Amino acid sequence: MVGAEDAQAVGVPERVWPCRRAGAGWGVRGRGPWPRPARGRVDGAAQRHARVHPVRGRRRVGAMCRWDGHRVPQAIVLRLLRDEGLLPGGRLPA
């Protein structure tokens, strides 16, 4: 494995060398998993709205959560409903 000393020997500045390589193999934890504060704030409200209105999509459920006073992006609502299996299956007939 190439280390920071090897980078200096080759002439690559150490500041460009990836920092997480220094602890690789020594039991030092790398990146992730990151905390999910937005998901925790809106978890119950999004599930409640999705269960009461099962044909509503992520945009409508997100709008209902925002109407309740939660600040939540649509992407968080999409991930939450997808993980819980609460997304409606397909489009409604026109």
List pLDDT tens digits, range 49-89.
999 988 888 899 999 999 999 888 899 899 888 888 888 77
Domain count across the chain: 2
End-to-end CA distance of the chain: 59
Q: Domain range spanning residue 50?
A: 37-84
Residue 12, domain member (yes or no): yes
**Which pLDDT score, from 0 to 100, does residue 69 have?**
92
| Same domain as 61, residue 23 | no
**Which pLDDT score, from 0 to 100, does residue 36 have?**
75
Name the residue with higher pLDDT: 90 or 63: 63
Residue 90, domain member (yes or no): no
7: which residues sit within 8 A by CB, 6+ positions away? 13, 14, 17
Q: pLDDT of 33-46, one tens digit each?
A: 777 777 788 888 89
pTM: 0.57
| pLDDT beyond 60 at 90 | yes
| Same domain as 42, residue 74 | yes
